[in-house]
Amino acid sequence: MDILSVKNLTKSFNGIKAVDNLSFEVPAGTIFGFVGPNGAGKTTTMKMILGLLKPDEGKAIIDGMEVKYGETRTNEVVGYLPDVPEFYSYLKPKEYLKLCADITGMPSDLFIIRQQELLHLVGLDNVNKKIGSFSRGMKQRLGIAQALLNEPKLLICDEPTSALDPVGRKEILDILLAVKGRTTVIFSTHILSDVERICDHVVVLKEGKLVLSGSVSELKNKHHNDRLFLEFETEAEAALFLKKSPFAIIGQLDRHFLIGAENIEKTKADILNWLVKADLYPKKFEVLEPTVESLFLEAVK
């Protein structure tokens, strides 16, 4: 069963299409990766799913109910973690959760149980200082706690790990993994290793359009290891390679290249020979197992 289905969603800002005829489904119980470079339309899509932005066309259906712009009943089954969650800095975490609970009309006895459980889950159970003094990671974790307060059927996280250091990122990913099974998680990111680590489904956006979607294992199986990955030290080297090389570049992001090969052994030798002649020495040269990263690079080419 799909907890969320997005149908032909379109939104323009000043004549530029931020989201262009986007459709996809999110199966219940999954961790769903929502991937794309910055500016691909991830946040815009999420805000439309939350009823915070009005779509130009199309609709989103959550748990059988259509999302309405403004006050929408669908938000009763959704928890939302914004990319940079903002809290009232003068409140303490328990006070903030209490405010959220009262807003939703949660009974006090239930709140006490949920609060302890959630603060423990996000590792803030012994923190009794004002939110104003929190680190980003702590705010992000409190953000997850508030989003999960109502036991939502769908948890939407907008780039929850992007602004965090590696320790903070790991903590967030562990929390998301821990809630899997209890709720469906949609999680947008441009950090592909995060997707690889926890997601089982993924959609890739580019310039507001869907370019790839499916379950991670399915996608990996479809793509054979007929790809080579090249990374250069400097932009100049990368530019030179892009300009001069005769090879089939099927994906590029900054200094990273993905090269297709029909005969992997031959192409490998050809590239190495060509590089020596061109006096170009890559930082990394690798025959790729299909990874989310290679799928992504190919998709957003």
Partner 1 sequence: MKAYLAFVKKEWTELFRTYKLLILLIVFLLFGLMNPLIAFYMPEILAAAGIDPSTLGLADPTALDSFAQFFKNVGQMGLIVVVIVFANTMAGELSKGTLVNVLTKGLKRRTVVFAKFTVASITWTIVYFVAFAITYFLTDYLFVIGSFSNGFLAFFGLWLFGLFLIASVILGGILFSRMVGSLLFAGGLVVVMTLLNIVPTFQKYVPATIASVNVSLLMGTLETSDFVPALIICGALIVGFVSASILIFDRKQV
- Contact with partner 1 (CB under 8 A): which of 14, 15, 38, 71? 71
- Choose the stretch contacting partner 1; rule: CB under 8 A; options: 46-54, 173-181, 184-192, 215-223: 46-54
Question: Closer CB to partner 1, residue 86 or residue 262?
Answer: 86
| Nearest to 4, CA basis, from 105, 114, 80, 84 | 80
Q: Sketch the per residue contact string, 210 through 249, with partner 1: x for CB under 8 A, - otherwise.
A: ----------------------------------------
CA distance 69 to 59: 10
- Choose the stretch contacting partner 1; rule: CB under 8 A; options: 29-37, 58-66, 88-96, 268-276: 88-96
Using CB under 8 A as the binding rule, whether residue 50 contacts partner 1 is answered as yes
Element of type H or E holding 102: helix 93-104
- Measured in whole angstroms, how far is the alpha carbon of residue 60 from the centre of its chain? 18
Hey, what are 210's tokens?
């869907």
- Binding footprint of partner 1, residue count (CB under 8 A): 32
CA distance 205 to 32: 13
Using CB under 8 A as the binding rule, whether residue 121 contacts partner 1 is answered as no
Using CB under 8 A as the binding rule, whether residue 259 contacts partner 1 is answered as no
Closest separation between CB of residue 194 and partner 1, Å? Answer: 23
Using CB under 8 A as the binding rule, whether residue 70 contacts partner 1 is answered as yes
Q: CB of 212 within 8 A of CB of 202?
A: yes
Question: Closer CB to partner 1, residue 84 or residue 272?
Answer: 84
Using CB under 8 A as the binding rule, whether residue 90 contacts partner 1 is answered as yes
**Count of C-beta atoms within a 10 Å radius of residue 64:** 11
Q: Sketch the per residue contact string, 94 through 113, with partner 1: x for CB under 8 A, - otherwise.
A: -x--xxx-xxxx--------
| Nearest to 145, CA basis, from 170, 161, 125, 167 | 125
Phi, psi (rounded to 5 degrees) for 153: -80, -20
Q: Sketch the per residue contact string, 150 through 179, with partner 1: x for CB under 8 A, - otherwise.
A: x-----------------------------
Hey, what are 261's tokens?
């090969």
Using CB under 8 A as the binding rule, whether residue 276 contacts partner 1 is answered as no
User: Pairing mode, if any, of strands 249-253 and 78-81?
Assistant: unpaired
CA distance 218 to 216: 5
CA distance 3 to 285: 41
Residues in touch with partner 1 (CB under 8 A): 50-54, 70-71, 75-76, 78, 80, 82, 84-88, 90-91, 95, 98-100, 102-105, 130, 143, 146, 149-150
